[in-house]
């Protein structure tokens, strides 16, 4: 975080960007980092005994079940750091957004954002053209889709079947400010983030 504010004192930046909660296995956090944030009042939730779920899974569960003082009626979880790195971990993180399909969870990297489009809804995606696009994709992750239909893309789908091993909509282009998607299965929507 201090690297984004090179003109400022690093300690000031760290105090300003203090997490409310640190949660997980605690096998990666450095001791001095843990002590620094604990001394500032960050809640440390140690789940080192639960080896069956990923850190992302634990944190999403925490947000859904425990986080007090948070209005959860219209919640959206923004996640940075879930992509890149070890591929098995990236897949595990994609699986978390598939498993918590009733929650809005957005995975973000420098290059892309990803979120689930549950099959139980028709979707309207309002494209913020100043910050995202034009490259996009619709990914039938985990299940073949017999029928998906879109509007607003360069290569729209029209009751089109998609599956890994066959057609997967990637390197598509957003053409309009509103994209609509309807599908018989959960799809991952992904769009490129502009480098400004």
Minimum distance, C-beta of residue 54 to other proteins, in the bound complex (Å): 6
Residue closest to 40 by CA, chosen among 22, 17, 15? 15
Q: Taking the mean position of all CA atoms in its chain, how far away is CA 40?
A: 28
Query: Where on the chain is the footprint of other proteins (CB under 8 A)?
Result: 54, 83-89, 91-92, 94-95, 98-99, 101, 109, 111-112, 114, 135-137, 139-144, 163-166, 168, 170-172, 186, 188, 190-192
The answer to whether 96 touches 56, Cβ cutoff 8 Å, is yes
What stretches of 62-126 adopt beta strand conformation (E)? 76-80, 104-108, 112-117, 123-126
Nearer to other proteins, 14 or 99 (CB): 99
**Comparison of 2 and 84: residue with beta carbon closer to other proteins:** 84
CB of 20 to other proteins, least distance (A): 26
Report the nearest approach of other proteins to the CB of residue 157 (Å). 14
Q: How far is the CB of 112 from other proteins (least distance, A)?
A: 4
Identify whether 134 is preceded by a cis peptide bond (ω within 30 of 0): yes
């Amino acid at each position: 975080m201090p690297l984004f504010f090179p003109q400022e004192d690093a300690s000031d930046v760290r105090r300003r960007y203090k997490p409310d909660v640190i949660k997980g296995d605690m096998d990666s956090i450095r001791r001095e980092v843990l002590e620094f944030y604990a001394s500032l009042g960050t809640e440390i939730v140690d789940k080192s005994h639960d080896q069956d779920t990923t850190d992302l899974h634990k944190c999403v569960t925490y947000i859904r079940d425990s986080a007090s003082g948070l209005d959860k009626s219209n919640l959206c979880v923004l996640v940075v750091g879930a992509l890149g790195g070890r591929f098995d971990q990236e897949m595990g993180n994609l699986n978390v957004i598939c498993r918590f399909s009733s929650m809005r969870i957005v995975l973000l990297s420098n290059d892309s954002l990803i979120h689930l489009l549950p099959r139980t809804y028709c979707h309207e995606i309002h494209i913020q053209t100043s910050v995202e696009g034009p490259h996009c994709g619709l990914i039938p992750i985990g299940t073949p889709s017999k029928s998906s239909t879109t509007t607003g893309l360069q290569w729209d789908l029209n009751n089109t079947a998609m599956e890994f091993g066959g057609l997967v909509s990637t390197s598509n282009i957003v053409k309009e400010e509103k994209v609509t998607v309807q599908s018989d299965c959960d799809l991952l929507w992904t769009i490129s983030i502009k480098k400004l």
